[in-house]
Amino acid sequence: MNGTPEFVGAVTTPDAVDVDMLFVPVFDGEDSLDDLPGLNEATLGDIGRARAGGEFRGGAFECFMTRVAAGASYRATRVVLVGAGRRSDADPERLRRVAAVCSYTARLRSVQSAGLVVRAGLDVRPAAQFSADGFSAAEFDGGTRKTADRSAGAFPERVVILAPGADPVALSDAVFKGRTIGHAANLARALGNEPANVLTPIEFAKRVAEMSSGVGLSVEVLDEHRIRELKMGLLLGVAQGSAEPPRLVVIRHDPPGAPETPVLGFVGKGITFDTGGVSIKPADGMDRMKLDMSGGAAVAAAMCALAVLKAPRRVVAVIPMAENAVGGRAIRPGDVLVAASGTTVEIINTDAEGRLILGDALWYAQQLGATHLVDAATLTGACVVALGRVASGLFGTPEVWTDHVRSAGQRAGDRLWPMPLHDDYRDMLRSDIADIANSAGRWAGANTAAMFLREFVKDVPWAHLDIAGTAWLDERRPYQPTGATGAAVRTFIELGLTPVE
Identified catalytic residue from 94, 355, 406, 490: 355
Q: Which fold has domain 200-497?
A: Aminopeptidase (3.40.630)
Nearest Cα to Cα of residue 458 among 402, 397, 394, 405: 397
Cα separation, 9 vs 485, whole angstroms: 26
Decide whether 6-188 matches 200-497 in CATH topology: no
**Catalytic annotation present for 86:** no
Q: Give the whole-angstrom CA distance, residue 177 versus residue 172.
A: 9
> Would you say residue 410 has pLDDT above 80?
yes
CB 473 within 8 A of CB 280: no
281 is known as an active-site residue: yes
So what's the pLDDT on residue 153? 85
Q: How many helices (H) and strands (E) does the chain have?
A: 15, 20
8-23: pLDDT as tens digits: 999 999 999 999 999 9
Q: Is 418 helix (H, G, I), strand (E, B) or coil?
A: strand
What pLDDT sits at residue 30?
Answer: 83
In CATH, 6-188 is 3.10.105.10: no
Domain boundaries, the chain: 6-188, 200-497
Q: Assess whether pLDDT exceeds 70 at residue 150.
A: no
pLDDT of residue 118: 97
144 — pLDDT class (breaks 50, 70, 90): confident
Question: With bands split at pLDDT 50, 70 and 90, how would you rate the model's confidence at 151?
Answer: low
pLDDT for position 141? 87
Is pLDDT of 152 > 50? yes
- Does the pLDDT value for residue 149 go beyond 80? no
Encode pLDDT of 206-260 as tens digits: 999 999 999 999 999 999 999 999 999 999 999 999 999 999 999 999 999 999 9
What does the pLDDT average to over 95-103? 97
> Which residue in the list 281, 389, 426, 454 is annotated as catalytic?
281
Q: What is the mean pLDDT of the chain?
A: 96
Residue 1 has pLDDT above 90, yes or no: no
Average pLDDT of span 478-492: 95
> What is the per-residue pLDDT across 358-404, written as a single tens digit (0 to 9) for each?
999 999 999 999 999 999 999 999 999 999 999 999 999 999 999 99
Summarised one tens digit per residue, pLDDT across range 107-131 is 999 999 999 999 999 999 999 999 9
* pLDDT of 2: 45
Please enumerate in sequence order all residues whose Cβ is within 8 A of that of 266, keeping only pairs 6 or more positions apart, or say none: 299, 302, 303, 315, 316, 317, 318, 365, 374, 375, 376, 492, 495
